[in-house]
Structure 1
Amino acid sequence: MNTSIEVEYWVVDTDGELTEPGALAEVSERTEREFVEPLFELKTPPCETIGELRATFAEQLEEVLSTAAAEEKRLVPLGTPINCGAIDRRPSERGRIQKEVLGEDFAYAKYCAGTHIHVEKRNVADQLNTLIALDAALALVNSSPYLDGERVANSARAHCYRKKCYGDLPKHGQLWHYVDTVGEWCRRLEDRYEEFKRAALEEGIDEVAIEDNFSTDNVVWTPIRLRDEMPTVEWRSPDAALPSQLLRLADDLEMVMERVHNTNVEVESVSDSRHAGHVTDDGIRLPTFETACEFANSAIDDGLESADVVGYLDRMGFSVDDYHPISTRIDGRQYVTRGDARDLRLEYANRLEEDVDELVETVGV
């Protein structure tokens, strides 16, 4: 099953201060700047096996880090910068329209760095439902509990997107209910596009500008998306994290999604979070949507500190004991000063570089 990873990393200078990517965005056609100045994005091509994905990801990162060293820049694998000054959004018509429609709360998105995992489209309705049910797996790679120095949640990034950015248009940033058909999902996208368009028109945005910058394919942030141009089902919930952590997550996710293609997927009729959800050789049983949302909320708030989340992910086929999220390692303070945040960014820039060195050695790039 073809799988790929897109990851955003913060770029810092040798003092740990956020800076723009510069030459890092020009390393290849798969590296680019993000919508805010200090973010950099790397995209792998679709890979037929996790082994191929691991080798490709390691090779790409090694090349980027070589350029970064020459530029005296570092990459930081944290879901937020922890604490920093104001972050500027790169000028764009799309961003301007989003800010007009979503208001000041859209600014929270400027402090978020995440990971998107793409899996090849097959049994699409079952894939959508399974990814919705598996959203709590974001807890496996939570990487920052802090925003503006304050302790917010085990995943401050996911908290911001779901509880801050889309307050006036909640269906644009939340998990969607399970579907019976792909057509049902597409109709929801059409409804969200029309909803956004109406809100933009009410703010005085020109209709041509709306249509030029938004479509049903890109109007929502929702944690699960269908991408026609790849074509893939995309899971957008995880934080940015160390490359080895993301590869482990992609591996576990791919194994579950492979089973979706070869077995029956059913939704439980009764809510019982203590025993909800199972992935076995006989089939995949998803929890009720309400229970899946409870698990996802606990994953955001408490991460792997939640025994219910750990038990659920174990039943769903994830090797939970193999994960050691960064959030758990750096949590414990109610406030992190800007100086301490710079130190943490540099510490995890070091860890990312060590992580890539180990990956390169393992795959023999």
Structure 2
Amino acid sequence: MPPGPVGMGTGVNTDAGTDESVNGGGDAGRVMPEVPTFGVEEEYFLVEPGSGRISDAAGRVLARARSEDGFADTLTGEFTRYQIEGRTPPCTSLAELRAELGAVRRAAARAARAEGLRLCASGTPVLGRAATDAIGDHPRYRAGLAQYRSMMRDFAVCAQHVHVHCPDPARAVLVGNHLRPLLPALVALSANSPYHEGRDTGYASWRTVIRQRFPCLGPPPYAESLAEWDRRAEAVTATEAMLDPAMPFWDVRPNPRLPTVEIRCPDVSADLETAVRLAALARAMVTAADREVTRGDPGPRLGAEELRAACWQAARDGVTGPAGESALRLVTRVREPLEAAGDLEPVESHVRRLVAGGSGADAQREAAREAGLKGVVRRLVTQSETEPETEAAQDQGSRG
């Protein structure tokens, strides 16, 4: 993939022409099924267990993972050497996604521990870094550094990207029009980056703020067709604010290499249950939007400035602000596709739990009050490397 700030890795099993990546399957009918497959890619920091600082050891950790676990297709590098990325295959159910993502996290954690490090799923580094320049050793990453210059110096952020099978890029653009106003709710629910290199930013998702500095990131434009989408990407590229019009890094996009709608705004979640249930919510959002496209609804023409401001507010306030109430309404809005997938109860209960009890950002601040910033890192590591078996077992029982 060409350089661009978030998601600059190679995507989710993104070999050109391969339909066995995050959402495999053919192009038959070019229409989304009632319950499409979905998958996730996540980015994780590598941290030193003593200092809690991020470590530029991605090369060593990936070599270890590939030699010991055979995870060559599911673990890869990222924009900085402080990070690695995990990818799931296409999944049909929440339970399957949980199993696959849990396996990815276990493999990544084993490899990190073998190199004397730990896995930490946080949107931004809680503490500092061991090196000042740890850009990944890839020509496209270096090109991104040349293009954006000092804007990239603190660009070490970790996201969750959700892919939902959609075989027609033109249809994916129209689906994206319906998703645009819903993005602030996902930003709030997933917010997991209140600290940045030793300081409390005052935000729930500082990663979102870092990303919004870039003119090529953030909410996507409204586009009536794939041709209009392409023209807008080409216009941004002409200003040198985007490196490749074929590879925009907006928060929703038709993935350039996969038959998917890709949602890119969430912070990575330390808690596995939050990760998989928000992914299931994202799938329901895409499915509901696809039904609206089928009915001929062009989607709300929310202005770019208004939408960007709403995402900023969600990043600042998290679930305690207006986006928290929007998240509850969102579940009601996508109730039918959640029911069709068997995901209504686990997703609805988890969203209510997040809105009432706080997101990952709130959990980080609670840990800081109890044990300082090193305590925050320790809690994140524990969550990132541990599967919450109780909730998983409850879901299996309700489905069995």
Q: TM-score, normalised by structure 1?
A: 0.78
Give a deviation string over 1:261-282, Cα, whole Å, max 9, x none: 334445457xxxxxxxxxxxxx
Please report how far the alpha carbon of residue 288 of structure 1 lies from its aligned counterpart in structure 2 after TM superposition: 5.9
- Does 2:94 align with 1:58? no
Give a deviation string over 1:272-314, Cα, whole Å, max 9, x none: xxxxxxxxxxxxxxx66554434312111111110x2122222
Q: Which residue of 1 aligns with 2:53?
A: 17
**Which of residues 228, 231, 235 in structure 2 aligns to 1:187?**
231
Tell me, what secondary structure is at the counterpart of 2:221? coil
Q: Which residue of 2 aligns with 1:246?
A: 275
Give a deviation string over 1:110-153, Cα, whole Å, max 9, x none: x2111111111253233211232221111101111122323322
CA contact 2:233–2:246 (8 Å) conserved in 1: yes
Please report how far the alpha carbon of residue 72 of structure 1 lies from its aligned counterpart in structure 2 after TM superposition: 3.5
**Root-mean-square deviation (CA), in Å?**
2.9
- Does 2:136 align with 1:90? yes
Structure 1 residues 229 and 13, CA, compared in 2 at 3 Å: closer, same or farther?
same
Identity %: 22
**Which of residues 159, 162, 166 in structure 1 aligns to 2:209?**
159
Tell me, what secondary structure is at the counterpart of 1:317? helix
Gapped regions of structure 2 (runs ≥ 5): 1-35, 333-347
**More displaced stretch, 75-84 vs 120-129:** 120-129
Q: TM-score, normalised by structure 2?
A: 0.71
Structure 2: which amino acid aligns with 1:4?
G
CA contact 2:208–2:315 (8 Å) conserved in 1: yes
Q: Take 2:237 and 2:303, find their aligned partners in 1: how far apart are those partners?
A: 27
Give a deviation string over 1:147-185, Cα, whole Å, max 9, x none: 23233221111101103xx2xxx2x12323322112211
Which structure is higher in RCO with an 8 Å CA cutoff and minimum separation 6? 1
The structure in which a higher percent of residues are strand is 1
Please report how far the alpha carbon of residue 340 of structure 1 lies from its aligned counterpart in structure 2 after TM superposition: 4.0
Structure 1 residues 64 and 149, CA, compared in 2 at 3 Å: closer, same or farther?
closer
Q: Which residue of 2 aligns with 1:351?
A: 383
**Which of residues 337, 341, 359 in structure 1 aligns to 2:373?**
341
Structure 1 residues 363 and 61, CA, compared in 2 at 3 Å: closer, same or farther?
farther
Q: Which residue of 1 aligns with 2:244?
A: 215
Q: Take 1:358 and 1:23, find their aligned partners in 2: how far apart are those partners?
A: 30
Structure 2: which amino acid aligns with 1:17?
R
Gapped regions of structure 1 (runs ≥ 5): 201-213, 270-286
Q: Which residue of 2 aligns with 1:30?
A: 74
Please report how far the alpha carbon of residue 57 of structure 1 lies from its aligned counterpart in structure 2 after TM superposition: 1.4
Q: Which residue of 2 aligns with 1:131?
A: 179
**More displaced stretch, 51-60 vs 233-242:** 51-60
Q: Number of aligned pairs? A: 320
Q: Which residue of 1 aligns with 2:312?
A: 297
Tell me, what secondary structure is at the counterpart of 2:387? helix
Q: Take 1:99 and 1:249, find their aligned partners in 2: how far apart are those partners?
A: 32
CA contact 1:3–1:119 (8 Å) conserved in 2: yes
Q: Take 1:23 and 1:357, find their aligned partners in 2: how far apart are those partners?
A: 26
Please report how far the alpha carbon of residue 223 of structure 1 lies from its aligned counterpart in structure 2 after TM superposition: 1.6
Give a deviation string over 1:46-75, Cα, whole Å, max 9, x none: 223333222221222233333444444321
**Which of residues 191, 197, 202 in structure 2 aligns to 1:148?**
197
